Amino acid sequence: MVKIDIKSVYDSIKYFSGTQIIVAGWVRSCRGNGKFGFINLSDGTCFKTLQVVFTKDKLANFDEIEKLNTGSSITCKGRIVMTPENQQPFEMQADEITILNATDSDYPLQKKKHSLEFLREIAYLRPRTNLFNAVFRVRSKLAFILHEFFENKGFVHVHTPLLTSSDCEGGSELFRVTTQNIYDEEGKFDPEDELFGKKVYLSPTGQLEGEACAFAFGKIYTFGPSFRAENSNTTRHVNEFWHLEPEICFMNLEELMELEEEMMKFIITNIMKRCPDEMKFFNEFVDKGLFDRLNNVINNDFARLTYTDAIEILKKNNDKFDYPVEWGSDIQTEHERYLCEVVYKKPVFVTDYPKEIKAFYMKQNEDGKTVRACDLLFPGIGEVTGGSERETDYEKLRKHMENLKLKEEDYWWYLNLRRFGSVQHSGFGLGFERILMYVTGVSNIRDVILFPRTPNNCEY
Ligand code: 4AD
Ligand code: MG
């Protein structure tokens, strides 16, 4: 007899009702009274557990089973019986239970409720809890839904390298990658000693290589880890995050924002449909306003305003901020949240930022001061995507890079794209963990990524 997934039993209960099957998994809880007992069994195939009923008259090892701790692994052979009068629609009446590996009282995940901080310390076990099981299944489904969205639209998925020799975001803090102690006794660096013959970093974005591919396929996206070496200890920053970056030719900024809005509505609609148990759990136990918030995104047009207009609004409320703003200042999380939580009460695109506070590759506006950038801000989170129309003019781009002291030798190929069939193109980067926070209601980014990499934390 082969093992059956608990998910299959739920999906095809009519078929399994009355039949004897084998299931295998981990004990969530076990209680008995000397004559009979109940096990809540999870095999990870779905959010729901299977209730296994066991009796002394059927099990020779009843006494051992009754004492099973949470986390023990077992297999159960038994009959599926409908129980319409009970909380569970059906249960398994066990004929045989085999213990594979019993936990003892050292097992850290006992029945009581644990704090998120404690669970972060045992990140290798936390996927077994209800909350993290739901988070990581939604993470898996959300990635799939994103792939589906771009596949449906005919995008090509390209895999850009994680090792790079250029600082693509111009100014972001990068991790050096080296095979050796590359500084000599005087602290000098000899590129000859390096495996790549030059300084190499973990890439903060796949955009530049993505642009090269966009000029071949018309529309592409990359999806993978990006690295930022910044020392930010916030609830929204990790040093390694997952980054989805589409790049589309013959597209302007307005069309880019339409694409982003459509993408957000698609993924939220579909995650609610496809993970109903997990989403219900988040709505009940993590954030009681979650469904309202998500429906608010699906059913409303996102707001759009320029940076200059945003600053006008914010300036009038400078007394409310730790960092008062004026034209030219960076918009920080507190300002982003004010705009979408207090002013608009929905997602907001802010466009046309001053060129000084944005990356070198963004298309310059006629005014000479601003660039065709758009950041998408979400209530409760702040920035979830950053994007722009790209500068396509060789000379403008070269000059701007020169002003920023970016070395042409590091970007020669990127500049060449502007000579070899350059076309209007735009793209954005979605922080996958940020959108996961929004979709699950989980408020710390460390709790939506398996093993978070943050300052002073690289366990596992
Ligand atoms: O705004 P960013 O830095 O833009 C880029 O990297 C562009 N190359 C994207 C593009 O146009 N292709 O990053 C994009 C998004 C941010 O909006 C944010 O959601 C996320 O990536 N992000 C982070 N998420 C978690 N932790 C960090 N340290 C992040 N830094 C950026
Ligand atoms: Mg940004």
pLDDT digits (tens, 9 = 90+) for 378-401: 999 999 999 999 999 999 999 999
pLDDT score, position 74: 98
241 and 297, same domain (yes or no):
yes
pLDDT score, position 321: 94
Quick check: is 136 in a domain? Answer: yes
Using an 8 Å Cβ cutoff, are 265 and 297 in contact? Answer: yes
39 and 156, same domain (yes or no):
no
When pLDDT is averaged across residues 335-360 and rounded to a whole number, the result is 95
Does residue 188 register a pLDDT over 80?
no
| pLDDT one-digit tens code per residue, 105-121 | 899 998 778 999 999 99
Domain boundary residue, one of 101, 116, 150 = 101
pLDDT score, position 171: 59
Q: How far is the CA of 428 from the centre of ligand 1 (A)?
A: 9
315: confidence class by pLDDT, cuts 50, 70, 90: very high
Q: Which two tokens stand for residue 373?
A: 């950038």
Quick check: is 174 in a domain? Answer: no
94 and 134, same domain (yes or no):
no
Residue 261 is part of which domain span?
126-164+204-447
Quick check: is 106 in a domain? Answer: no
Does residue 191 register a pLDDT over 80?
no
Residue nearest to atom 11 of ligand 1 (CA): 428
Does residue 186 register a pLDDT over 80?
no
Question: In the chain, how many domains are there?
Answer: 2
Residues 452, 453, 457: CA angle, nearest 5 degrees? 100
Pairing mode, strands 219-227 and 156-157 = parallel
134 and 76, same domain (yes or no):
no
CATH number of the domain that residue 134 is part of: 3.30.930.10
314 and 432, same domain (yes or no):
yes
Quick check: is 328 in a domain? Answer: yes
pLDDT score, position 336: 93
Using an 8 Å Cβ cutoff, are 229 and 174 in contact? Answer: yes
80 and 134, same domain (yes or no):
no
Least confident of 37-51, 103-117, 299-313: 103-117
User: Which residues, at least 6 apart from 323, have a Cβ–Cβ distance to it below 8 Å?
Assistant: 329, 332, 334, 335
Alpha carbon distance 387, 429 (integer Å): 6
CATH number of the domain that residue 37 is part of: 2.40.50.140
Mean pLDDT of the chain: 94
User: What's CA 284's distance to the chain center, in Å?
Assistant: 21
pLDDT score, position 440: 98
Query: Measuring from each residue's beta carbon to the nearest atom of ligand 1, which residues come in under 6 Å?
Result: 169, 205, 207, 228, 237-238, 241, 243, 245, 383-387, 427-429, 431, 433-434
DSSP, res 340: I
140 and 65, same domain (yes or no):
no
Residue to substitute in 172, 227, 241, 444 for testing ligand 1 pocket (most ligand atoms within 8 angstroms of CB): 241
323 and 440, same domain (yes or no):
yes
Q: Looking at ligand 1, which atom is closest to the CA of residue 245?
A: 12
Q: How far is the CA of 404 from the centre of ligand 1 (A)?
A: 20
- Which residues have beta carbons under 5 A from ligand 2 (an ion)? 386
| pLDDT one-digit tens code per residue, 16-25 | 999 999 999 9
pLDDT score, position 305: 97
Which percentage of the chain shows pLDDT scores above 70? 96
Alpha carbon distance 46, 372 (integer Å): 44
Q: How far is the CA of 431 from the centre of ligand 1 (A)?
A: 6
* Burial group, residue 254, by CB count within 10 angstroms (0-12, 13-18, 19+): middle
User: What's CA 356's distance to the chain center, in Å?
Assistant: 29
Closest CA to 304 of 220, 247, 374: 374
Alpha carbon distance 268, 277 (integer Å): 15
Quick check: is 189 in a domain? Answer: no
83 and 133, same domain (yes or no):
no
328 and 226, same domain (yes or no):
yes
304 and 356, same domain (yes or no):
yes
Alpha carbon distance 436, 136 (integer Å): 10
231 and 320, same domain (yes or no):
yes
Does residue 70 register a pLDDT over 80?
yes
Q: Looking at ligand 1, which atom is closest to the CA of residue 237?
A: 26
pLDDT score, position 410: 86
pLDDT score, position 183: 62
DSSP, res 191: G
78 or 172, which is more confident: 78
Quick check: is 316 in a domain? Answer: yes
Quick check: is 296 in a domain? Answer: yes
When pLDDT is averaged across residues 221-237 and rounded to a whole number, the result is 95
Quick check: is 325 in a domain? Answer: yes
